[in-house]
Chain A
């Protein structure tokens, strides 16, 4: 069903490629044209933001991170997933909050968990972790059992 939209998108933007993922419509959008593609999709009635997250392909792909946006059209029922590969050296992605305000917290979460900086986000702070937390816990090289308690203990000599 959403295939019509994907074809239209690929006709309009040459650099957009589609991937086959079961029944889901998935397109890969390079970072440079992400804002243009977002504007185009917004005009095509892809009005509802669904989810935004990041995949960490540590050692499995050339571009380590992939930002994933999931969109839905309330009028046509289309669903589309956009994926934007990012290099770990340059973890900056344009924010889509100006098109869909519902991505506000989702992008903050992606920043918190993976360290992707969303350029143009109105309020990019950590959201689930505390401010003093160092590192990004959902990255594949962050050990699962690492602990960072937020407790100020007295030095042993003061006891």
Chain B
């Protein structure tokens, strides 16, 4: 908690009891509330005495829609959860369904590498946007332009891979939709080298910038105990000293084959959240390097007609292939009855899919444990007794994504 002593101010306890507080609305449409969320602030001067955070403006009935879609049709919906890192959502959903199908061990190695690579690229774009947007809101417009340019390089690379700039729908149950393009590795290496330069420029501009540090340091401090109790995960949790990364603690895909460090903060303030994200970008870049060295040719979908689409050649030339194709499109992948909670490390923390299947081709229930939603509920607690200007870095560093929070 940020306990700021402001000269001439009353005690927080007296303020809460007093009636002459001013109520102001921040959002849902506000330049700094970039995730369409409404904050109702009770203020005394510039100090926030109480606040109410109201999400829901971007609610698109993800869970209801998912109950009426076949498992593969859910992928486009997952793209629109955290739209800064759609690949991570794709992968998370696919892994949960594959656990229910009990084919986790059959996924080809190349597919696993591809999923990790596109996932880490998405994590980089997610963190770049978070840092860039926050820097812009604190006055560093150059950083924003630099980082969004870098993000665009990665977007272009993924666009070449699957045809979409943002809503990829690239992963399928049991595999991915396309193999890596011929030049993928060469282009990725080039982009990573250029990104490294841009990152060092960003660091020069931000990390020891007086204005930036003054706005970020000792703002919205969350202790480790509070972080655990509020359900923090991901960069926000790690900044508070909670050493928890799903990739390390419950390894999935091929993360146990990669060498990487999990950055952990000491103070739990906004500045630590920024540093953790910056370091995670570097770790992801090193993971991409390792993946490019280790990846080998091979199939990209699991060889099981119940799960994967047959090859087009089969569909057009054999009756079995055509029937399999038809059944996939009309009925979807039949998933045995049961339930599972599949969780992966998303851009903002533990991204979980709780899926209940009743044995048909559509989920009976599909609940998303969204990290933004869980983290955002601590915002009133984080900005209590802070200044209005502190809301901006705090909110920016939570990196609330409307699509994921409101679903």
B276 at the interface (CB under 8 A from A): no
Residue ID in chain B nearest A49 by CB atoms? B231
Which residue in B54, B102, B369 is a CB contact (below 8 Å) of A50?
A: B369
Q: Given the complex of chains A and B, what is the CA–CA distance between A21 and B340 in angstroms?
A: 7
- Which residues 353-398 of B have a CB within 8 angstroms of A? 354, 356, 358, 364-365, 367, 369, 373-374, 376-378
Give the nearest-CB partner of B369 in chain A: A51
Does B61 make an interface contact (CB < 8 A)? yes
- A49 to B59 alpha-carbon distance, docked (Å): 23
- A70 B55 Cβ-Cβ under 8 A: no
Q: Which residues of B contact A56 (CB under 8 A)?
A: 365
B45 part of interface (Cβ distance < 8 Å): no
Shortest beta-carbon distance from A32 to chain B in Å: 24
Interface secondary structure of A, over-half rule: mixed
- Nearest-neighbor residue (CB-CB) of B58 within chain A: A128
Query: Do A128 and B407 have beta carbons less than 8 Å apart?
Result: yes
Chain A residues in 8 Å Cβ range of B356: 55
Report Cα–Cα, A129/B57, bound state, in Å. Answer: 8
Task: Decide if A121 is an interface residue (CB 8 Å cutoff).
Answer: no
Within 8 A of B (CB), among A117-153: 127-130, 137-138, 144
Interface residues of B in 224-258 (CB under 8 A from A): 228-232, 242, 244, 249-250
Whether B352 lies near A102 (C-beta < 8 A) is: no
Contact A129 B59 (CB under 8 A): yes
**Shortest Cβ distance from A109 into B: residue:** B373
A106 part of interface (Cβ distance < 8 Å): yes
B99 at the interface (CB under 8 A from A): yes
Tell me the dominant secondary structure on chain B's binding face. mixed
CB atoms of A138 and B68 under 8 A apart:
no
In-complex Cβ contact of B228 among A47, A53, A60, A105 (8 A): A47
Give A137 to B354 CA distance when docked, in angstroms: 18
The complex places the Cα of A24 from the Cα of B100 at a distance, in Å, of: 11
In the bound complex, how far is the Cα of B378 from the Cα of A80, in angstroms? 23
Q: Find out whether the CB atom of A70 lies under 8 angstroms from the CB atom of B56.
A: no
What is the number of residues of chain A that contact chain B, defined by CB distance less than 8 Å?
Answer: 36
Given A51-B352, A102-B229, A22:B340 Cβ within 8 A: yes
CB contacts (< 8 Å) of A79 on chain B: these are: 341
In the complex, the answer to whether A105 meets B373 with C-beta atoms within 8 Å is yes
CB–CB B55/A127 < 8 A = yes
Residue of A nearest to B249 (CB): A77
Q: Could you say which interface size class chain B belongs to?
A: 35 or more
Binary interface profile of A, 93-113, with partner B (CB < 8 Å = 1, else 0)? Answer: 000000011111110010001
Chain A 54-80 interface 0/1 with B at a Cβ cutoff of 8 Å (1 = within): 011000100000001010001001010
A5 within 8 A of B: no
Chain B contacts of A81 at CB under 8 A?
341
- The digit string for B336-355, where 1 denotes a CB below 8 A from any CB of A, is 00111101000000101010
Of the residues A100, A128, A138, contact of B231 by C-beta under 8 Å: A100
Whether A48 touches B231, Cβ cut-off 8 Å, given contacts A21-B339, A22-B100, is yes
Q: Within 8 Å of chain A (Cβ to Cβ): is B196?
A: no
Cβ-neighbour of A137 out of B64, B365, B367 (below 8 A): B64
- CB atoms of B377 and A102 under 8 A apart: yes
Contacts of A51 in B (CB 8 A): 341, 352, 354, 367, 369
Residues A128 and B369 in contact, CB atoms below 8 Å apart: no
Contact of B338 among A22, A48, A74 (CB under 8 A): A22
User: Is B406 among interface residues, defined by CB-CB distance under 8 A?
Assistant: yes
* A70 and B354 within 8 A (CB): yes
Which residues of chain A have C-beta atoms less than 8 A from B369's C-beta?
A: 50-51, 70
Q: Which B residues are within 8 Å of any A CB, using their own CB?
A: 54-56, 59, 61, 63-65, 67-68, 99-100, 102, 228-232, 242, 244, 249-250, 338-341, 343, 350, 352, 354, 356, 358, 364-365, 367, 369, 373-374, 376-378, 406-407
- Which 9 A-B pairs give the minimum distances between C-beta atoms? A102-B231, A51-B369, A105-B377, A128-B56, A53-B367, A128-B59, A49-B231, A102-B230, A101-B229
